[in-house]
């Protein structure tokens, strides 16, 4: 899952990026509104954490521009103020959630995960595709109830495929969501991760659609 963090305070931004990375996200961080607008306009994100008090372009203006351009990724806005009128304005501008500073990092991570689940049409932290069961909170995987030892990178690949049911996902798109960039990441790197997962879960779990990409098979 890819997340964009927009926060002008370097210490808070660093803490947010680290917390979300520890939770399994690939994270981009920017410090001003203009950079945020550009990133959100040209990149695809599964969630955005957006501070309102930004230099160069305020957070609400960024959010309105994204929504006007039909950028539909879920956004949680942050503000140092707890004024209810500002909260209403944020929601009306297209925010999906609102969190006042100071906040607990664990709460923010939980809310971001919730936004991603709801954006994918899911309400549970558990994702099941056929015989495969993923716990997105603990970042664990089971096949037929048997836990498997997988790396964070392997989990992110399974999790992304699980959130694209029935759709073959191109290797370039997987690379973008696993590494944050597609350019410079060879297709062989994705093939290597898929090969490791097939050895652990069986060759039938991840199917290859030549010319289209990879997808999870419900039958496993």
Residue 109 and residue 76 in one domain: yes
Of 16, 13, 12, which Cα lies nearest the Cα of 35?
13
pLDDT of residue 189: 86
pLDDT of residue 176: 79
What mean pLDDT comes out for the span 110-134?
80
Instruction: Provide the pLDDT confidence category of residue 180 given band limits of 50, 70 and 90.
Output: low
Question: How far, in Å, CA of 168 to CA of 173, rounded?
Answer: 10
Q: Are 69 and 132 found together in one domain? A: no
Predicted pLDDT at 211? 87
* Residue 44 to residues 3, 10, 184, Cα–Cα distance (Å): 9, 23, 18
Domain closes at, from 87, 119, 151: 119
The verdict on 27 and 107 lying in the same domain is yes
pLDDT tier for residue 70 given thresholds of 50, 70 and 90: confident
pTM of the prediction?
0.67
In this prediction, residues 9-36 reach a mean pLDDT of: 94
Same domain? 66 vs 154: no
- Residue that wins the pLDDT comparison between 32 and 219: 32
* Span 124-135, average pLDDT: 85
Q: Are residues 133 and 74 in the same domain?
A: no
Question: What is the residue range of 22's domain?
Answer: 2-119
Q: In what side-by-side order are the strands of the sheet with 146-148?
A: 126-129, 132-135, 140-143, 146-148
pLDDT score, position 59: 93
Same domain, 176 and 197: yes
Mean pLDDT of 148-168: 88
Element spanning 105, H or E:
helix 105-119
Last residue of a domain, one of 119, 140, 157: 119
Domain count, the chain: 2
Cα(127)–Cα(32) distance, integer angstroms: 35
Q: What is the mean pLDDT of residues 78-99?
A: 78
Q: Which of 101, 119, 137 corresponds to the end of one domain?
A: 119
Which percentage of the chain shows pLDDT scores above 70?
90
Query: At 130, is the pLDDT very low, low, confident or very high (cuts 50, 70, 90)?
Result: confident
**What's the chain's average pLDDT?**
87
**13 and 108 both lie in a single domain:** yes
Helix (H, G, I), strand (E, B) or coil at 43: coil
- Same domain as 109, residue 72: yes
pLDDT at 76 over 90: yes
């Amino acid at each position: 899952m890819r997340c964009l963090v927009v926060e002008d305070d370097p210490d808070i931004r660093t803490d947010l990026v680290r917390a979300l990375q520890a939770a399994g996200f690939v994270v981009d961080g920017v410090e001003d509104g203009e950079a945020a607008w550009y990133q959100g306009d040209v990149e695809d994100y599964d969630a955005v954490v957006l501070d309102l008090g930004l230099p160069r372009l305020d957070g609400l203006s960024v959010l309105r521009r994204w929504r006007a351009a039909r950028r539909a990724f879920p956004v949680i806005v942050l503000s140092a103020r707890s004024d209810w009128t500002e909260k209403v304005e944020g929601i009306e501008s297209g925010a999906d959630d609102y969190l006042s500073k100071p906040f607990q990092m664990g709460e923010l991570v939980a809310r971001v995960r919730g936004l991603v689940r709801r954006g994918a049409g899911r309400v549970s932290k558990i994702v099941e595709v056929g015989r495969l069961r993923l716990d997105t909170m603990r970042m664990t995987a089971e096949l037929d109830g048997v836990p498997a030892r997988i790396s964070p990178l392997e989990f992110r690949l399974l999790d992304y495929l699980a959130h694209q049911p029935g759709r073959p996902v191109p290797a370039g798109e997987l690379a973008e969501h696993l590494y944050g960039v597609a350019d410079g990441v060879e297709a062989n790197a994705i093939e290597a991760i898929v090969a490791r997962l097939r050895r652990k879960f069986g060759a039938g779990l991840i199917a290859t659609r030549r010319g289209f990409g990879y997808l999870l098979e419900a039958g496993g």
